[in-house]
Structure 1
Amino acid sequence: MVSTATQIGDFHFDNCLMNAAGVYCMTREELAEVDASAAGSFVTKTGTLAARAGNPEPRYVDTDLGSINSMGLPNQGFQYYLEYVTELQNQPGSKHHILSLVGLSPDETHTILKTVQASDYEGLVELNLSCPNVPGKPQIAYDFEMTTEILTEVFTYYTKPLGVKLPPYFDIVHFDQAAEVFNQFPLVFVNCINSIGNGLVIDDESVVIKPKQGFGGLGGDYVKPTALANVHAFYQRLKPSIQIIGTGGVRTGRDAFEHILCGASMVQIGTALQQEGPAIFERVTAELQAIMAEKGYETLEDFRGKLNYID
């Protein structure tokens, strides 16, 4: 019997597939659709201290090889999502879920996480370090000193299971430096990757999205090789207690299989979910199970991280 069940920390999931933050997760209604699907879990929209309308439209466009977006963190405010996942947590037989959060400053981040720490929610939390934080500064996770400062402060008060969402890294030395930072802390997971930032898509003679003069994050087929590289680089470098959620370019069972082969314990679907809807989870699960059956694998652990190299 082929099983796609998995575990993150102490949390068991019947299926390793779920949505990526930003897709089918803005409202309770969207989250409920994912929850009712074949997905093993959902992650909420990244919640900020106050609700945000986000950037002007058009801010998301499907492209031939995926998508481009500059959403601007539209969300209902972290309390909206915290209340929902806490409600679900207390329902018999509920799936486990992931609450995604970020502050627009370090102080806001600590205010949010202290609220979650004091709440009844006991599930997984994802701190999104792949958002620009201060004008003129890079994304938090590209600033290793700032990342270290924030996580050091967080773990003086936060005792619940916590992971981080990461942007893509492109240099081997940055994999080394980032892993050295993350290995200092009791993180439960890292999520690789957020979109590849600041791409530009042109239709005829115009950009296709309005914010930032058309510059936006790329998702879909464009990003899979980069996502796989990040998953495997961190699988090689992080201590075993920090698991990996693979995100980027997943639209088939084969794509999910490759993420797991590179070391992912769970796999998130973003652009393809936006394009196909929550029915995608049943299709991709069946395709993944078929590959596993063909290869004689009964569980994800039979092949997770066991990528072959050429001698």
Structure 2
Amino acid sequence: MALRSLLAAVAVGGAAAAFSAASSVTSPVTTHLVMPLVRLLDPETAHVMAVRVAASGLLPTTRADAHPSLATTVWGKQFSNPIGLAAGFDKHADCIDAMLGVGFGFVEIGSVTPVAQPGNPKPRVFRLTDDRAVINRYGFNSFGLDYAHDRLSERVADPAARGFQHGIVGVNLGKNKTTVDAADDYVQGINKLGKFADYIVVNISSPNTPGLRSLQGKQELGALIDRVLVARDRLGLPSQASAAVRGRVPPLLVKIAPDLTPADKEDIASVLMDKKVDGLIVSNTTISRPATLKSPASLTQETGGLSGAPLRQLATETVRDMYTLTQGRLPIIGVGGVSTGDDAFEKILAGASLVQLYSSIVYDGPGIVPKIQSRLAELLAENSFTSVSDAVGAEHRGFRRK
């Protein structure tokens, strides 16, 4: 424990000095000093330290609008670029502005549960370095709605003093482990945090909360959506809403798993179209273990959800299927295995209007964000697309990339 504490102190101190000296998140100092130093720590400690460094304002900033061709509009909202930070990194709304500052076009916090809960016993996060992957079984560790509410309130109350960055903020909601009435947990989340959200996510696809994925069933999903839509729609009422949100309501998205049968996908698409849900996040981590994994079995067989490079193909196939089943009418955020501009472009062609990443930051640090954006801008130009929206779902229209 003493060695772990010492490494944590060194990592934070080294990160502070390095980030202060670095001129950008793509600096060689960041890539060759900070990231190897952080990887001396166990994965969860490194995650906690990374959030603390970001929340301390030590990350250098880069322009989120550096590539005009990446600007896009979804749900009537202006995104400077389509690359977002997936839920799971900033679980408690501690470092939104820092992550927008490194170039993300949008940041999604959470999952946030109504009541604070510790999650599953440690260790619960594992790096599969040979596969550029991560297995986690966090189990919705959350500081709860009150904490997230306070952080979001502080952010908007005094933006100048807190490094406020303009950008889209999504709120990802989960349920407490012991809750029987899951819908009530999501309704509480909407009531408490909805006024801060540019979009709201109902996360029913984590494999680490018992019974959660059963909510993806047709009847269960339909009943859940009915209740959360009522709560969401009430945000637009004058008695419920602040002046900033009065008369409008945030889009409601559902986050689904990649481990779905064709019948499961058809049922989900049918419910979401019938209930007029606003969009999908595809997908969460997978409980499958591809035969191509290179890491030791002692790691690959850990219980939990697998993310990172091995998830890329399965997640993209799920994006492709859901785009087809929803007839391209529901915007999709594609997530899973994105570490290059080519990966992002692949998901956009398959039907994603926006793309998220998380695990690639574990291996490449925040400097990966502008690199992905630069490559994506190049690919759009090379393939004669004038905008991201032109490329969304293009492969379904017979397009083949150059």
Q: Deviations over 1:147-202 (max 9, x none)?
A: 11111222233213211111114432222121111111232211000000254989
Deviation at 1:259, TM superposition (A): 0.6
1:258 and 1:52, CA in 2 relative to 1: closer, same or farther beyond 3 A?
Answer: same
Contact 2:205–2:256 at 8 Å: present in 1 too? yes
- Structure 1 residue aligned with 2:79, among 13, 25, 29? 13
1:141 and 1:4, CA in 2 relative to 1: closer, same or farther beyond 3 A?
Answer: farther
Deviation at 1:41, TM superposition (A): 1.0
- Structure 2 residue aligned with 1:208, among 284, 299, 302? 299
| Unaligned residue ranges in structure 2 (runs of 5+) | 1-66, 234-248
Q: Report the number of matched residues.
A: 305
Instruction: Confirm or deny that 1:59 pairs with 2:131.
Output: no
Q: Deviations over 1:57-107 (max 9, x none)?
A: 322222122121111111221332344345545658721200010123363
SS state of the match for residue 7, structure 1? strand
Distance in structure 2 (CA, Å) of the matches to 1:239 and 1:78: 35
Aligned to 2:191: 117
1:203 and 1:261, CA in 2 relative to 1: closer, same or farther beyond 3 A?
Answer: closer
Distance in structure 2 (CA, Å) of the matches to 1:27 and 1:298: 37
SS state of the match for residue 291, structure 1? helix
Stretch deviating more after TM superposition (262-271 or 248-257): 262-271
Deviation at 1:284, TM superposition (A): 0.7
SS state of the match for residue 275, structure 1? helix
Aligned to 2:253: 163
Aligned to 2:174: 102
Aligned to 2:49: none
| Unaligned residue ranges in structure 1 (runs of 5+) | none
Query: 1:21-60 counterparts in 2 under 5 A?
Result: 21-23=87-89, 25-60=90-125
Instruction: Confirm or deny that 1:76 pairs with 2:153.
Output: no
Letter in 2 for 1:50: V
Regions of 4+ moved over 6 Å: 200-203
Q: Deviations over 1:24-52 (max 9, x none)?
A: x1344443321211100100020001122
SS state of the match for residue 268, structure 2? helix
Distance in structure 2 (CA, Å) of the matches to 1:85 and 1:185: 29
Letter in 1 for 2:167: K
- Structure 2 residue aligned with 1:143, among 211, 214, 217? 217
Give the helix-richer structure, 1 or 2: 2
TM-score, scaled to structure 1: 0.86
Deviation at 1:306, TM superposition (A): 0.9
- Structure 2 residue aligned with 1:247, among 316, 335, 339? 335
Distance in structure 2 (CA, Å) of the matches to 1:133 and 1:62: 17
SS state of the match for residue 386, structure 2? coil
Distance in structure 1 (CA, Å) of the matches to 2:349 and 2:328: 16
Distance in structure 2 (CA, Å) of the matches to 1:126 and 1:41: 14
SS state of the match for residue 232, structure 2? coil
SS state of the match for residue 281, structure 2? strand
Contact 1:15–1:40 at 8 Å: present in 2 too? yes
Distance in structure 2 (CA, Å) of the matches to 1:58 and 1:39: 29
SS state of the match for residue 281, structure 1? helix
Distance in structure 2 (CA, Å) of the matches to 1:146 and 1:18: 29
Distance in structure 2 (CA, Å) of the matches to 1:89 and 1:185: 32
Query: 1:176-191 counterparts in 2 under 5 A?
Result: 176-191=266-281
Contact 2:170–2:198 at 8 Å: present in 1 too? yes
Distance in structure 2 (CA, Å) of the matches to 1:134 and 1:2: 41
Give the strand-richer structure, 1 or 2: 1
Contact 2:171–2:197 at 8 Å: present in 1 too? no
Letter in 2 for 1:34: M
Deviation at 1:302, TM superposition (A): 2.0
TM-score, scaled to structure 2: 0.68
Contact 2:112–2:172 at 8 Å: present in 1 too? yes
1:12 and 1:141, CA in 2 relative to 1: closer, same or farther beyond 3 A?
Answer: farther
1:101 and 1:274, CA in 2 relative to 1: closer, same or farther beyond 3 A?
Answer: same
SS state of the match for residue 255, structure 2? strand
Deviation at 1:56, TM superposition (A): 2.6
Query: 1:204-283 counterparts in 2 under 5 A?
Result: 207-208=298-299, 214-238=302-326, 240-283=328-371
- Structure 1 residue aligned with 2:201, among 126, 146, 170? 126
Distance in structure 2 (CA, Å) of the matches to 1:134 and 1:58: 16
Distance in structure 2 (CA, Å) of the matches to 1:47 and 1:27: 7
